[in-house]
Every structure is written in structure tokens, then in C-alpha cells.
């Protein structure tokens, strides 16, 4: 599960709960995009952690290279693709609650896609094709979100600005709050993200 957490210099970052110490009532968190040496143990009620995306947007790791234990996993990628298609077909209403929506769109999917678009190692030609196929579906997801932008959705976005935690309890508010991460994924597709630019320049001709 993803959460927001303060790092050692009090910046809010995206973090993931990776372990529970039930005996001492603590959780181990890993900061996305940073070395494991920055992992911390905190208590669940600590003021240094918060609901996922309450204080963060997009990527919060190292500026040049995201340090992640990431390998291309096509069985997992197919699972993500199937879920993206369900989200599109249901107009984003396939989620059971607001948290599931935020965790998937702004967490699991966003971080996986960021990892794909910022690969440090050189992918094989067959891998590149699969990456672009995945990027196409992500682009369709973003277009669906834009297509859903009506007066009611715009009003919900304004309401979320006045009530910053509404997205955590209301599904429609959570959907309305996905825009930043969705468009950031599109930016990565186009090489407009500094970390994704190397991959884009190397492989744009394969599109």
C-alpha cells in the first residue's frame, strides 16, 4: 500500500509500506525512487505519514534516476492492461472505493509506467514494442478521463481544492483528482519528462 511520508529533511514523498512489525507496532516504509538505505520504521499513527496523495503529486524520488528494483514483467503488465481496460469500459467506476482508485491510478499504475519510460538498461526490440503497446493503453485511459470532464466533474475538482481530503473518501472526487498523474504519464510518453527523455529519443522512431 502506498502512503505519503516525510523524509529525513521533512519533504513529503511517495512511500510504500513494505513490512509490519506487529510486536512493536511499527511499519517499514520505502521511499519510491530512493535507495533502500533511506527505508524507515514508523508508528502507524505518526505525524510523519499521511493518506496517499494528500501532500504529494507525481514522482518524488531522485531527480535524475529513480532507484527501483524493477524488471520487465509481462504477465504483470498484462494484468495491468486488463485492469486499464476495465477502468475505461466502466468510466472509472469499477473501483470499490476512493482509496482503490487512488492506489491504482496514482500509485501502482503511475509508478510502473514511470519505471517503463525511464528504463536505464537498454530493452530488447520485442520489449520496446510491448512498452509502446502499454503506453498506447495508458494514453487511451487519459483520453477517457478527459472525455468524462463535464460540468459536474469540473465542480468536483473545485470542491477537492476547497476540501483537500475529499478524494480519500469519495470515489468521484478520487477520479477527479487523477488528472495530474494521468497527464504526467502522457508527458513521459512524449519525452517531456527529463528522466524519460533518454528513452524517448532512443526509441521514438519505433512508434
pTM: predicted TM-score of the whole model, two decimal places? 0.94
pLDDT per residue as tens, the chain (207 positions): 999 999 999 999 999 999 999 888 999 999 999 999 999 999 999 999 999 999 999 999 998 889 998 888 899 999 999 999 999 999 999 999 999 999 999 999 999 999 999 886 777 777 888 888 999 999 999 999 999 999 999 999 999 999 999 999 999 999 999 999 999 999 998 888 888 887 777 766 555
What does the DSSP 8-state code read for residue 167?
Answer: G
Domains of the chain in start order, with CATH, are: 2-50 (2.30.30.140), 74-206 (no CATH)
Amino acid at each position: 500500500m502506498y502512503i505519503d511520508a516525510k523524509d529525513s529533511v521533512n519533504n513529503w514523498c511517495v512511500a510504500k509500506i513494505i513490512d509490519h512489525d506487529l510486536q512493536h507496532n511499527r511499519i517499514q516504509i520505502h521511499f519510491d525512487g530512493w535507495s533502500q538505505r533511506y527505508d524507515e520504521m514508523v508508528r502507524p499513527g505518526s505525524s510523519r505519514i499521511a493518506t496517499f496523495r494528500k501532500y504529494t503529486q507525481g514522482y518524488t524520488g531522485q531527480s535524475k534516476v529513480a532507484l527501483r528494483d524493477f524488471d520487465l514483467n509481462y504477465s504483470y503488465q498484462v494484468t495491468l492492461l486488463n485492469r486499464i481496460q476495465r477502468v475505461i469500459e466502466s468510466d472509472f467506476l469499477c473501483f470499490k472505493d476512493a482509496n482503490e482508485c487512488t492506489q491504482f491510478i496514482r500509485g501502482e499504475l503511475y509508478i510502473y509506467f514511470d519505471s517503463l519510460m525511464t528504463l536505464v538498461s537498454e530493452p530488447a526490440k520485442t520489449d520496446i514494442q510491448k512498452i509502446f503497446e502499454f503506453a498506447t493503453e495508458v494514453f487511451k485511459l487519459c483520453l477517457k478521463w478527459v472525455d468524462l470532464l463535464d460540468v459536474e466533474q469540473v465542480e468536483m475538482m473545485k470542491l477537492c481544492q476547497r476540501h483537500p481530503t475529499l478524494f480519500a473518501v469519495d470515489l468521484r472526487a478520487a477520479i477527479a483528482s487523477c488528472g495530474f498523474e494521468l497527464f504526467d504519464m502522457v508527458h513521459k510518453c512524449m519525452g517531456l519528462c527529463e528522466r524519460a527523455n533518454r528513452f524517448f529519443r532512443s526509441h521514438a522512431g519505433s512508434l
